[in-house]
């Protein structure tokens, strides 16, 4: 293995990213395409509202529980991107 290679670094943003007040509000400001979701399902919005409550917002570990095919990935990605924007956390 070649130890002379530099470690991979995250690219730094030069443009300021806006942060909506909640993860649910973030969905409304994201750009839309012809194949994107038009709206959140009610249970997805409920999950995002529950996450944004003060009792869960500051927890270090949170688990999302929804049935198969009900959109957990979208909810998780919205939370991750919102935390990246709002708290300036990194998200992978």
Reported as a pLDDT band with limits 50, 70 and 90, residue 1 is: low
In sequence order, the 6+-apart residues with CB closer than 8 A to the CB of 89 are 83
The whole-number average pLDDT for the span 2-16 is 73
- Is 0.85 topped by the overall pTM? no
Does residue 47 lie within any of the structural domains? yes
Does residue 78 lie within any of the structural domains? yes
Does residue 21 lie within any of the structural domains? no
The whole-number average pLDDT for the span 19-44 is 91
Does residue 79 lie within any of the structural domains? yes
Does residue 70 lie within any of the structural domains? yes
Which of 67, 85, 66 shows the shortest CA–CA distance to 27?
85
Name the domain count of the chain: 1
Does residue 27 lie within any of the structural domains? no
* Residues 38-88 pLDDT 10s: 899 999 999 999 999 998 888 888 898 999 999 999 999 999 999 999 998
Reported as a pLDDT band with limits 50, 70 and 90, residue 91 is: confident
Does residue 45 lie within any of the structural domains? yes
Reported as a pLDDT band with limits 50, 70 and 90, residue 4 is: low
Does residue 73 lie within any of the structural domains? yes
- The 3-state DSSP composition of the chain as helix, strand, coil percent (nearest 5) reads 40, 0, 60
* Domain hosting residue 45, numbered range: 41-56+66-92
């Amino acid at each position: 293995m070649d130890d002379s290679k530099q470690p991979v670094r995250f690219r730094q943003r030069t443009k300021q990213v806006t942060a909506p007040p909640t993860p649910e509000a973030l969905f409304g400001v994201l750009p839309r395409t012809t194949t994107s979701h038009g709206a959140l399902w009610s249970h997805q919005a409920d999950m995002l509202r529950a996450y944004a409550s003060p009792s869960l917002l500051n927890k270090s570990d949170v688990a999302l529980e929804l049935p198969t095919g009900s959109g957990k990935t979208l909810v998780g990605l919205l939370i991750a991107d919102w935390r990246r924007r709002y708290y300036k956390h990194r998200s992978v």
